[in-house]
């Protein structure tokens, strides 16, 4: 079971009966509210990301959307340089010519065993081109529209050096 260090805020119920497409639609709707989310099990209390149709700890389908909080720490990152257009629906296509970009894996402050994947952005929401995060840097987590879809994003905290 995943460890949580704070009370969870339930943002909605996961409807596993609608399958992965239905759950993806729910996930997108909740991200539109501006909060990064993860999935939590109402039965055993395990938190998970990415979302699944059943709890990975107890196999229950009694799942909820939980607020991931607005602060996290960097656990790893990768800078991606674009060498031309891509035909996928992935981040490179959504970023367009606004590269390079940095993908960051973060650990939400209240969830010790969960990692979220975020796009590194500036405080005003633009793609971050210059900052180089390091492990344990604190970031602010939220969501932003990218190419017409809401995605989790993060920006370095005020005490971090953007190098």
CB-CB neighbours of 13 under 10 Å: 12
Q: Which residue in this structure is represented by tokens 């793609």?
A: 127
3-class secondary-structure state, position 84: coil
Domain boundary among 67, 91, 106: 67
Query: Is residue 149, in this structure, part of any structural domain at all?
Result: yes
CA distance 31 to 100: 24
Based on the fold, state whether residues 63 and 75 are members of the same structural domain. no
What was the pLDDT predicted at 86?
60
The number of distinct structural domains making up the chain is 2
Based on the fold, state whether residues 35 and 77 are members of the same structural domain. no
What was the pLDDT predicted at 85?
60
Based on the fold, state whether residues 19 and 85 are members of the same structural domain. no
How confident is the model over 92-142, as pLDDT tens digits? Answer: 555 656 668 888 999 999 898 899 999 999 888 888 888 889 999 999 999
Contact 50, 111 (CB under 8 A): no
Residue 6 has pLDDT above 80, yes or no: no
pLDDT mean over 143-147: 83
Based on the fold, state whether residues 58 and 79 are members of the same structural domain. no
Boundaries of domain holding 95: 71-156
How confident is the model over 23-76, as pLDDT tens digits? Answer: 888 988 888 988 899 999 999 999 999 999 999 999 999 999 999 999 999 999
Based on the fold, state whether residues 28 and 80 are members of the same structural domain. no
Domain boundary among 67, 84, 110: 67
CA distance 59 to 42: 11
Based on the fold, state whether residues 24 and 93 are members of the same structural domain. no
């Amino acid at each position: 079971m995943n460890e949580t260090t704070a009370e969870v805020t339930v943002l909605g119920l996961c409807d596993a009966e609608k399958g992965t497409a239905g759950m993806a639609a729910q996930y997108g709707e909740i991200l539109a509210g501006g909060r990064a989310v993860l999935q939590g099990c109402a039965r055993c209390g395990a938190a998970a990301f990415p979302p699944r149709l059943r709890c990975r700890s107890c196999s229950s389908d009694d799942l909820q959307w939980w607020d991931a909080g607005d602060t996290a720490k960097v656990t790893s990152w990768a800078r991606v340089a674009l060498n031309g257009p891509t035909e996928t629906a992935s981040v490179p296509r959504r970023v367009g010519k606004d590269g390079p970009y940095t993908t960051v894996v973060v650990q939400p402050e209240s969830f010790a065993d969960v990692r979220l994947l975020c796009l590194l952005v500036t405080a005003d929401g633009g793609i971050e081109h210059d900052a180089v995060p390091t492990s344990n840097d604190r970031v602010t987590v939220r969501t932003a529209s990218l190419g017409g879809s809401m995605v989790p994003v993060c920006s370095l905290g005020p005490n971090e050096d953007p190098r």
